Chain A
C-alpha cells in the first residue's frame, strides 16, 4: 500500500539552530532517506521550499484569485513528503516515527487514493 508521509514543522525553528545543529539535522534527513531507499520502500521524496515562497490560487467569480502565502495559517507548515510503499499502516507508522520531523514537528500518514480497477 502506498502512503504519503507529510512533514509539518515550525520553519522558524531552523533559523534558531546553531550551524552544528543544522548540519546534524540535515544529516539526519539524509540518513533517513538512505534507510528508506535501502529498505526498498521509497517511491519518492521532496523537500518543499519555504512557505514564504508559497502562493495560493483559487477561482472566484470565474477569475483566479491569487494570494501571497501558504494555504494553512498555522505555526507548523507543510515542509516535505516521503512517498512509501509498505505492507500496512503499522509499517508506515514505524517509518513515520523514524522521520526526524516527528521529533520537532508532526508527520501525517495518509494512504493514497485507492482507484477502482
Chain B
C-alpha cells in the first residue's frame, strides 16, 4: 500500500505538469484539466493498490483524465471543448508530448495580468496549491484563488494561443516567462535560512522550472542566463546563515561553504550563453554573480568591472535597485562620497521609499563619509522595513556601532 502511494507521488511529481499541459493543449481549459487530473490521481490511489501499478502510469492517468474531461464538458454543455478532448487517443500508447513550455508561454501572455504570471505558472505547471502560493506572495488565499480563476478563464475565453511564439516575438515573450520564474525564486529566496518550508520549496520548484526552460530552449541565451543566476544564488544559500542563525553578508561569507558544483555549472551556462551572442538582463546579472564569486575566492578587487556590468544592466532596464547596487560598487572604486552622489540621483524614486536595501545602502555610505547621525537614522528606517528577524538583528548590530548622542 505504501509502495503504491510512493509510486503515485513520484509519478505525480514527474508527470503532473506534462499531463496538465497536454490536456490544456487540446482544450485550452486549465481549470478543467486540473480538475480532471486531480480526479484521475484520486482514482489511481484507490485502483493501483488493488490492481497493481500500470506499466504506463502516465498513459493510465491520461486515459482517466480524458474520460473525466469529456464527462465534465458534456455536463457543462461546452461542446466546443469536446472536439479537442476527443482527439486524444483513448489508450495513450506512446510518450506524451511535452507541452509545458507552451503552457508557460500561455500563462505569461501579455493579455494576462503580469502580477499573476508567476502564481499561475506555479499552479498550472507544478500543481502548487493556491494557499501555498498565496502565503509565499503575501496575499490572502481567497484573493489569490480569485485571481488565478480569472486568469485561467481569460486563457480559455480570449483564445490565448497555446504555442511557442514566433521568432520575432520570442525574446519578449520569453522574458515574461523568465520574469515569472525569477519572481517565484525571489519569493523563495526571501527565506535563505530555509526555516519556512513553503518558501524553501518555492526555490526548488522555480529552479526546476528554470532548468526545464533552459533544457527546452537551449539556444536562448537569457534562459541559460536565468538558470546560471539562480544557481549562483542557490550555491551560497548555506553561507548566508551562521550556525546560530545569524545573517552573513556576502563580503563576510566563507567561500568554502559555497556549493562549488553549482557554481561551476552556473559558469558553464554563462559561457554557453555568451557564445550565443544575445546579451540580456539575466546574463548580466549572472555575470555580476560570477564577478562577486571571483572576487571573494581570489581576494582580488574587480569593482571597476562590476560597475561596468551595472552600467550595462542599467542601460537595459532602468531599475532603481540596480542603481543602488551600482552606487555601492562605485563607492568601492571612487569613494563613499561618489557613491552617495550616485544615490542622490535615484533617491526621489517613490518605489525606494519602502525598499530596505536602499536605506541600508545609504546608511553604509553615510557611515563611510563620517555622517554618523544620518547613518543611524537610515539604519533605523532599514530596520523598520525588514521582515527577516536575522537580517534585522544584523542591521541593528551595524547601527549600534554608531551610538546615538547621549
Contact = CB atoms under 8 A, between A and B. Distances in A.
A117 B161 contact: no
Contact of A92 (B77, B109, B159): B159
B384 to A, nearest CB: 41
A35 to B, nearest CB: 19
B93 interface: no
Please classify how large the interface on chain A is, using the bins under 10, 10 to 19, 20 to 34, 35 or more: 10 to 19
A58 B111 CA distance: 33
A116 B296 CA distance: 64
A117 B77 contact: yes
A89 B160 contact: yes
Nearest to A3: B159
Nearest to B173: A90
A116 B159 CA distance: 16
Interface of B: 76-80, 109-111, 157-161, 165
B79 A116 contact: yes
A80 interface: no
Contact of B80 (A90, A92, A93, A117): A117
Contacts of A89: 109, 111, 158-161
Nearest to B109: A89
A111 B161 contact: no
9 shortest interchain CB distances as A-B pairs: A117-B79, A88-B161, A116-B77, A1-B159, A89-B159, A88-B159, A89-B160, A89-B158, A90-B161
Interface string A103-117: 000000001001011
Contacts of B111: 89, 93
A93 B165 CA distance: 14
A15 interface: no
A49 interface: no
Contacts of A90: 160-161, 165
B157 A111 contact: yes
Contacts of A117: 77, 79-80
Contacts of B109: 89
B234 to A, nearest CB: 35
A112 to B, nearest CB: 10
A13 interface: no
Contacts of B77: 116-117
A64 interface: no
Interface string A84-110: 000111101100000000000000000
Nearest to B79: A117
A114 B157 contact: yes
Contacts of A93: 110-111
Contacts of B157: 111, 114
B78 A116 contact: yes
Nearest to B157: A111
A15 to B, nearest CB: 34
Given A90-B161, A92-B159, A117-B79, 7 more contacts: A1-B159, A3-B159, A87-B159, A89-B158, A90-B165, A111-B158, A116-B76
Nearest to A93: B111
A48 to B, nearest CB: 24
Interface in A65-90: 87-90
B161 A114 contact: no
Contacts of B161: 87-90
A92 B149 CA distance: 23
A5 to B, nearest CB: 13
Nearest to A90: B161
Contacts of B159: 1, 3, 87-89, 92, 111
A114 to B, nearest CB: 6
A90 B76 CA distance: 27
Of residues A87, A88, A111, which shows the largest number of chain B Cβ atoms within 10 Å of its Cβ?
A88
B160 A88 contact: yes
Of residues A89, A114, A117, which shows the largest number of chain B Cβ atoms within 10 Å of its Cβ?
A89
A92 B80 CA distance: 20
A93 B161 CA distance: 11
A26 B218 CA distance: 47
A81 B158 CA distance: 18
Contacts of B78: 116
A116 B82 CA distance: 11
5 contacts: A3-B159, A88-B160, A111-B158, A111-B159, A116-B78
A3 B159 CA distance: 10
B97 to A, nearest CB: 19
Of residues B109, B157, B159, B161, which shows the largest number of chain A Cβ atoms within 10 Å of its Cβ?
B159
Contacts of B80: 114, 117
